[in-house]
Structure 1
Amino acid sequence: MSSKQQLSGFALFVHSKRFSNFILLCVFLNAIVIGLQTYPSINLQYETLFNRFDIIFLSIFTIEVIFKLIVNRASYFKDGWNLFDFIVVAASIAFMQSEFVSVLRILRVLRVLKTISSIRSLRRIITSLFMAVPTIGSISLLMIIVFYIYGVVGSTFFAELSPVYFGDLSASLVTLFQIATFDDWANIYRPIAESSPLSLIYFVTFIFIAVFVMLNLVVGEIVNNASNIPSDVVEDIAEIEHDVHDLKSVTLEVQQLKSEIMELKLLILETRSDGDKHQAS
């Protein structure tokens, strides 16, 4: 078997679902170990075992990075998720014997994010979220304007009725943020409504604009970007086409070997016939 065929088989193994599922299982087990380490009593009792598990998981993730580097070579760093995995693993190795324990713990937690790079559906959601960042920025700017307008109006009309919540602009903005999260907003509204019935218009319009309209805009943009991302079926088709291309190349090599064997047979037969003629003469 040629080195090219060996590399092709190795690439199929690295990109196979079995290998991906094994890495995903290691990520989940690593997350469980990290969670158990947050309990002081459990961590104190099994600290040595947890440290061994951490070395094992880090070794597995390092081998994964090395395998993908061998298969993908320079194109490995063109994928943002591969770059993230490489940075996390390299930093974990660099800080393994470091005194910065907090940094090492953060890096351990960041390994849990490998779940996203291992599951296509999660990668799809995160990609659509990043694609929506420019639009979300514009929506956030519009929301700031809405908050500012309603903050000024609230501090103007309700400062005397509720100085704690609408005494000034900063207090009004904090109150509006609390209302937007639906955190006990009814207890803010009722005392004001007893003295100012028209405050209902203020609160209802703010909730409608800031919560329902703005939130739907954000969700709609993310869904729209998600629909523009190639589906997993397309990715599967691309992988199948890649595998078919590899099989075709292997088939061509086999055919070439067959033709060379036939030529050798013919050459042997010609050599034998020439030898027989020479003996007969």
Structure 2
Amino acid sequence: MNTKVQPSGLSALVSSPKFSNFILFCVFLNAIIIGMQTYPAINVTYASLFNKLDIVFLGVFTIEVILKIFVYRKNYFKDGWNIFDFIVVAASIAFLQSEFVSVLRILRVLRVLKTISSIRSLRRIITSLFMAVPTIGSISLLMVIVFYIYGVVGSTFFAELSPVYFGDLSASLVTLFQIATFDDWANIYRPIAESSPLSLIYFVTFIFIAVFVMLNLVVGEIVNNASNIPSDVVEDIAEIEKDVHDIRGVVLEVQQLKSEIMELKLLLMEESQQHKKSS
């Protein structure tokens, strides 16, 4: 009886806020320690302590993965974050004594991304961002067309005035990308403007279209998707997941009751048959 109730207890433990907060605390602490290891003086002084803590954190993350696999079974690998955790932990254990430990420490830092699924506002932003991917793709295609047109125009009119920046199409595209990021674009514009006053139209229109219009389109699409996400759905994701975990435990108990009822039925049938024979 106790052995079949045990998965329900583990499910409650794994889905409990205290367990999640403890794992997040370990993730943040592990990230801080890995960051401290980038300072040579600190790393040399506390190298032994850092190595021991790395093993402790790896043990904690391994236990987390084992518990979740035991509770969720096949459903564990249906979550992308769980797959990411499993790969990082498995690789950390497989290459624990190899020269790739430093790379795996960086991978463990990426576990900080798990905080996104725990913070509702971040979860809402990420959801709206993924919803905007198709529209952002169309905006990106439009931006490529704008860059190409302005690149050809720039290399046609300004190749002789500024061969470094507009000598050919590839150089023009790199220059336009630099202008779009506002990286020292004024020093690119001023020498050309001295010889070609009409270049002002070229630079102003490109900055207006490529930066202000396109950027606002992307931001507007993300904000629009964020406003379309039902707030109650986003806010209740964690509670729904907890309810699902509780339901799984109840299902296990119901299955156990069914098996016990079947056993009672068989016993009653045997008793009734024996009673008929004796009578």
TM-score range, shorter chain: 0.7 to 0.9
Q: Residues 1-281 of structure 1: matches in 2 within 5 Å?
A: 2-227=2-227, 231-239=233-241, 241-242=243-244
Cα–Cα, structure 1 residues 82 and 120, in superposed 2: closer, same or farther, change >3 Å? farther
* Contact persistence 1:132–1:222 (CA under 8 A): yes
Computing the radius of gyration from Cα coordinates, the structure with the larger value is: 1
Q: Match of 2:260?
A: none
**Unaligned stretches of 5+ residues in structure 2:** 258-279
Identity within the alignment, %: 78
Q: Match of 2:274?
A: none
**Unaligned stretches of 5+ residues in structure 1:** 257-281
| Structure 2 Cα separation of the partners of residues 237 and 163 of structure 1 | 61
Q: Which piece of structure 1 moves more, 47-56 or 225-234? A: 225-234
Between 1 and 2, higher relative CO (CA 8 Å, sep ≥ 6) is seen in 2
Q: Match of 1:259?
A: none
| Structure 1 Cα separation of the partners of residues 248 and 164 of structure 2 | 71
Measured after TM superposition, the shift of residue 228 of structure 1 is 5.3
| Structure 1 Cα separation of the partners of residues 121 and 79 of structure 2 | 16
Cα–Cα, structure 1 residues 18 and 190, in superposed 2: closer, same or farther, change >3 Å? same
TM-score, reference length from structure 1: 0.78
What do the CA deviations read for 1:193-248 (whole angstroms, capped 9, x no partner)?
23322222211111111112222232233334445556432324524654785898
| Structure 1 Cα separation of the partners of residues 100 and 252 of structure 2 | 51
Measured after TM superposition, the shift of residue 182 of structure 1 is 0.6
| Structure 2 Cα separation of the partners of residues 167 and 244 of structure 1 | 67
| Structure 2 Cα separation of the partners of residues 22 and 186 of structure 1 | 51
| Structure 2 Cα separation of the partners of residues 83 and 213 of structure 1 | 38
Q: Which piece of structure 1 moves more, 142-151 or 195-204? A: 195-204
| Structure 1 Cα separation of the partners of residues 113 and 245 of structure 2 | 29
Q: Match of 2:275?
A: none
| Structure 2 Cα separation of the partners of residues 250 and 147 of structure 1 | 60
Measured after TM superposition, the shift of residue 20 of structure 1 is 0.8
Measured after TM superposition, the shift of residue 127 of structure 1 is 4.2
Q: Which piece of structure 1 moves more, 179-188 or 6-15? A: 6-15
Measured after TM superposition, the shift of residue 164 of structure 1 is 2.1
What do the CA deviations read for 1:166-194 (whole angstroms, capped 9, x no partner)?
12212211110110001111222222223
* Contact persistence 1:147–1:176 (CA under 8 A): yes
2:236 partner SS: helix
2:197 partner SS: coil
Amino acid at match of 1:7: P
| Structure 1 Cα separation of the partners of residues 12 and 164 of structure 2 | 65
* Contact persistence 1:85–1:114 (CA under 8 A): no
| Structure 2 Cα separation of the partners of residues 163 and 251 of structure 1 | 77
* Contact persistence 2:62–2:89 (CA under 8 A): yes
* Contact persistence 1:91–1:107 (CA under 8 A): no
Q: Which piece of structure 1 moves more, 194-203 or 181-190? A: 194-203
Tell me the matched-pair count.
254
Cα–Cα, structure 1 residues 250 and 60, in superposed 2: closer, same or farther, change >3 Å? closer
Measured after TM superposition, the shift of residue 251 of structure 1 is 11
* Contact persistence 1:24–1:118 (CA under 8 A): no
2:92 partner SS: helix
Cα–Cα, structure 1 residues 58 and 251, in superposed 2: closer, same or farther, change >3 Å? closer
| Structure 2 Cα separation of the partners of residues 193 and 15 of structure 1 | 64
Measured after TM superposition, the shift of residue 249 of structure 1 is 8.1
